[in-house]
Chain A
Amino acid sequence: MMRPILRVALVVALALAAAAETSARTVTDSAGRKVEVPDRIDKVFAAGPPASILLYMVAPQKMTGWPNPPTAEERPYIAAPYRDLPALGRLTGRGGTANLEVVIRSKPDLILDFGAVRDTYISLADNVQEQTKIPYVLIDGRFEATPAAIRLLGDVLGVRETAEKQAKYVEGVFAEIDAVVKATPPEKRPRVYLARGPDGLETGVVGSINTEIIERAGGRNVAQAAGQRGLVRMSMEQVIVADPEIVVTWDRNFFDRVFKDPLWAGIKAVREKRVYLSPTAPFGWIDRPPSLNRVIGLKWLAGLFYPDKLGGDLRETTRAFYRLFYYVDPSDTELELLIAWSKGQAPSGR
């Protein structure tokens, strides 16, 4: 027979444990969905590449895996324990490859998606949540909304301090660029073409997520088409007519040949040697995927667009950004590789 005091203690302990088990909060995601999440979130499954980068930046210790395994070229710029996380595939976007059973087996407390808040993705979130019983949070991925996205995720995951620091950094970058861009009349802003694909004739029109960084950095995208969005193919003749002052790309094949190519020789950007190659390690600087990785590319592009006002020390900027967001302290060699890359000297291996 137990002594009464012990029995009371046991009951209280059990009640507390039960309370801890069910203790939950309700968060509102960017789609306005009310999602009940556990108080303590230790493991998060990122639904796609943009979400995995947001998650890696805000709370890497809570990752369950990557959508795709990081390549040899990317690994040095991802902090040690996280670069070895398994590849689990993706739930959203073009070509969903994640197996729902794999998702469940990795026992996440939360599934996170970061990107366009459209009905397709909202219904996908609802479906997956209903099927797996795992709370699914959708965060608005527009570039403009980046600080809010970081804060919301920090709030959900209980890492407000880190999130606040990072959100402030992004706000600082935005404000610094906005001040210069506002003082420049639209017709004085550089006309920019973002060349994609091995022949450089793929691009995103104004308003597409693939090229929004151009406008954000104070440039004017020369690819315009009323009523069209997303990726398109240009013809060489259209590029000649548009005659961009600056060309940006991350495609090394295209970059390798653009200066030798007689067709591109007459383009202003090529004549004035203002074709720039974006590094893509650990993630693309200007796109690929369209996530927070673009913040460093934004600083870089704005510096190229307005060298007098926003030039700055790219080496220091890169080091600070990689420290704060990627949790790595690049060695001098690694840093030099990135700087040389951003000046057109891409590493030879792939």
Chain B
Amino acid sequence: MVEGTGTVRALAARPLSLLGALAVALAVLVFAAAMVGAFPVSFGEMLAAVWRKLTGAPPIGQIDTVLFEVRLPRVFAAVLVGAALAGAGAAYQTLFRNPLVSPDILGVSTGAGLGAVLGIFLSLPVVGIQLTAFAMGLATVGLVYAIASTVHGREPILVLVLAGVVVGSLAGAAISLMKILADPYDQLPAIVFWLLGSFSAIRKGEVWAAAPLVALGLVPLLLLRWRINVLSLGDEEAKALGVEAGRLRLAVVTAATLMTASVVAISGVIGWVGLVIPHIARMLVGPSFDRLLPTAMLIGAGYLLLVDTIARTMAAIEVPIGILTAIIGAPFFLWLLARGREGWS
């Protein structure tokens, strides 16, 4: 990142080796994260538990539950959410040709937040809260897109962003209203904790449910990666190169929104990952989307896993991860700003 790190630069020159190195680092991190936690599990016990799992032997004590039902789902959830947020962030930033864009620019997080708050307000069970969050996240972006497409003759991206800001702040006001109406002893703390984001309650089934949706959003981004690059030149230039900007934009927004909404539904609102990680990735591999996307996703996965592992081992009581990502992300972003230009276009 800084001038001295020659190896990174050397690696960056060969994107495939950089991706390989990042993947190895992520694997090491996953392994380390699986080793630490409040419940003491030694290396030997872990191997024995994995062996039991593979051979179908009956579990011994709580170790199997802790490893396979609590810790590993949480580790994979952090990886999935980090990758999805960073990937969606990279897509949005390229699409909007703007480095200040994060996945919630069109209101997906705020909308999902409103859905979750509504679910908590109606005393729905956890899965109901997640479904309302997911549905409202998608619906909010749908609404923003619908509003923007009725306005003709203006800069389409500007209209889209403005509609996103307006609908997002409307959803924010609705969240505040629900907070006032909610039961202050019961629902209000649940709302506050949800909006701060956390992996503490994550379960296997939720990771299994979110992962295919993230993959579903990822496929069009991968298939369209070359055309998305063309989009970053601007609508006119894209047209000249035979790319129909409007339809492509809709596809990218749909894909990135699907990725974001499905992970926000299980983890709550976790800010800054989708904003900062694509910047780091761009510093390493440049703005070309085909290289930016996998790099951002790998770094995002590793970053969120690292922060979550710190969150759950640092103190007896957890700090919600949304707070930590903001505390780390905000100063880092300022540093990026102070550092000045980077390879944007």
Contacts and interface: CB of A to CB of B under 8 A. Distances in A.
Interface of B: 37-39, 62, 65-66, 69-71, 74, 120, 123-126, 129, 179-180, 183-186, 188-190, 193, 198-201, 203, 312, 315-318, 320
A104 interface: no
A130 interface: no
Nearest to A204: B189
A237 B39 contact: yes
16 contacts: A94-B184, A95-B179, A196-B186, A196-B189, A198-B190, A223-B317, A233-B200, A234-B318, A235-B318, A238-B38, A240-B66, A241-B39, A250-B186, A253-B125, A284-B185, A287-B185
Contacts of B193: 197, 202, 233
A240 B70 contact: yes
Contacts of B186: 196, 250-251, 288
A199 B201 contact: yes
Interface of A: 49, 93-95, 97, 196-199, 201-202, 205, 210, 223-226, 228, 231-238, 240-241, 243, 250-253, 256-257, 262-263, 265-266, 284, 287-290, 350
A138 B189 CA distance: 25
Contacts of A97: 180
A247 to B, nearest CB: 16
A235 B37 CA distance: 10
Contacts of B318: 232-235, 238
B70 A236 contact: yes
Contacts of B201: 199, 201, 233, 235-236
A253 B38 contact: no
B54 to A, nearest CB: 19
B38 A237 contact: yes
A202 B190 contact: yes
A324 to B, nearest CB: 24
Contacts of A256: 125
A341 to B, nearest CB: 16
Q: List the 6 closest A-B pairs by CB distance, nearest first.
A: A235-B200, A288-B185, A225-B317, A199-B201, A232-B317, A197-B190
B316 A198 contact: no
A155 B318 CA distance: 45
A288 B186 CA distance: 7
A253 B200 contact: no
Contacts of B312: 235, 237
A236 B206 CA distance: 15
B125 A257 contact: yes
* Secondary structure dominating the interface of A: loop
Given A235-B199, A250-B186, A284-B185, 17 more contacts: A94-B188, A95-B180, A95-B184, A95-B188, A196-B189, A197-B190, A231-B189, A233-B320, A236-B70, A236-B201, A237-B38, A237-B39, A238-B316, A253-B126, A262-B65, A288-B183, A288-B185
* Secondary structure dominating the interface of B: loop
A155 B25 CA distance: 70
A256 B183 CA distance: 20
Contacts of A235: 38, 70, 74, 199-201, 312, 318
Contact of A225 (B71, B74, B316): B316
Contacts of B120: 198
Given A199-B201, A225-B315, A225-B317, A237 B190 contact: no
A234 B185 contact: no
B38 A241 contact: yes
Nearest to A96: B180
A288 B185 CA distance: 5
Contacts of B179: 95
Contact of B70 (A199, A226, A263): A263
Nearest to B187: A197
A95 B183 CA distance: 10
A251 B69 CA distance: 23
Contacts of B71: 237
Given A199-B126, A225-B315, A262 B38 contact: no
Nearest to A228: B317
Nearest to B71: A237
Most chain A CB atoms below 10 A, which of B71, B198, B201: B201
A234 B125 contact: no
Nearest to A242: B38
Nearest to B61: A266
B321 to A, nearest CB: 10
B184 to A, nearest CB: 5
B317 A198 contact: no
B317 A240 contact: no
Contacts of B65: 240, 262-263, 265-266
Most chain B CB atoms below 10 A, which of A223, A231, A265: A231
A210 B228 CA distance: 53
A253 B119 CA distance: 12
Contact of B69 (A199, A224, A250, A262): A262
A143 B185 CA distance: 17
A265 B62 CA distance: 10
A288 B318 CA distance: 24
Contacts of B70: 235-237, 240, 263
A233 B317 CA distance: 7
Most chain B CB atoms below 10 A, which of A198, A234, A241: A198
A258 to B, nearest CB: 12
A263 B68 CA distance: 10
A227 to B, nearest CB: 9
Contacts of A251: 186
B298 to A, nearest CB: 25
Contact of A198 (B39, B62, B129, B320): B129
B198 A263 contact: no
Nearest to A236: B70
B198 A233 contact: yes
Contacts of B180: 95, 97
B189 A240 contact: no
Nearest to A253: B125
A226 B316 CA distance: 9
